[in-house]
Amino acid sequence: MSFYARVFSMAEDYPSRFAICDELLEAEYEFSTFPGKFDEDFDEKDWKYLMLEYDPNHEPIRLERNIKGVDPIFEEERQEFLDVLQELPYSKEQKKAVDIVKNMVQIYALDVDEDITEEGWQFLETLLDFLADATDGYVQIDEEGIYGKEGELLVEME
């Protein structure tokens, strides 16, 4: 089984696969990717997928980038989140979360195996923080909710 962690991006700009890897290397993680750094399509400008293996004995983290107006799954996911959020009691935080989902222009979806290790969680957090910072994004984690810019839980979603 797996769960998803996402970054709801407010910016159209996005980091390259090289930038993502550089950030993780700077944080002193050892990992491998698919496509690999020396594969001809690794530097593809408009990339959609990246697999990150933080431990050869565990499932890799699968990162998918979906764009408003380009990828049908973007609108499906946006509507699913809006439906859930609009069922929550009205509050300042609920309104903020609805605004985030309505105004996002990209979704970075990370498919994560539920038996992720402690080191894997640290790797995932570094990756989520980088993507959120690089794209003016907000982190969402299944069974938890949507987080604000300072890492505080903005709205709980089960």
131-147 residue pLDDT tens: 999 999 999 999 999 99
User: What's the domain range around 7?
Assistant: 2-145
Specify whether the backbone of 23 is left (phi greater than 0), alpha (psi in -120 to 50) or beta: alpha
Residue 158 forms part of a structural domain: no
Domain assignment of residue 156, yes or no: no
Number of domains in the chain: 1
In 3D, which of 46, 69, 65 has the Cα closest to residue 108? 65
155 found inside a domain: no
Could you tell me the pTM of the whole model?
0.95
The answer to whether residue 75 is domain-embedded is yes
* 152 within domain boundaries: no
Instruction: Kindly state whether residue 71 falls inside one of the protein's structural domains.
Output: yes
Cα separation, 78 vs 73, whole angstroms: 8
Q: What are phi and psi of 29, to 5 degrees?
A: -90, 145
- Is position 150 within any domain? no
Q: Is residue 8 domain-resident?
A: yes
Tens-place pLDDT, residues 82-109:
999 999 999 999 999 999 999 999 999 9
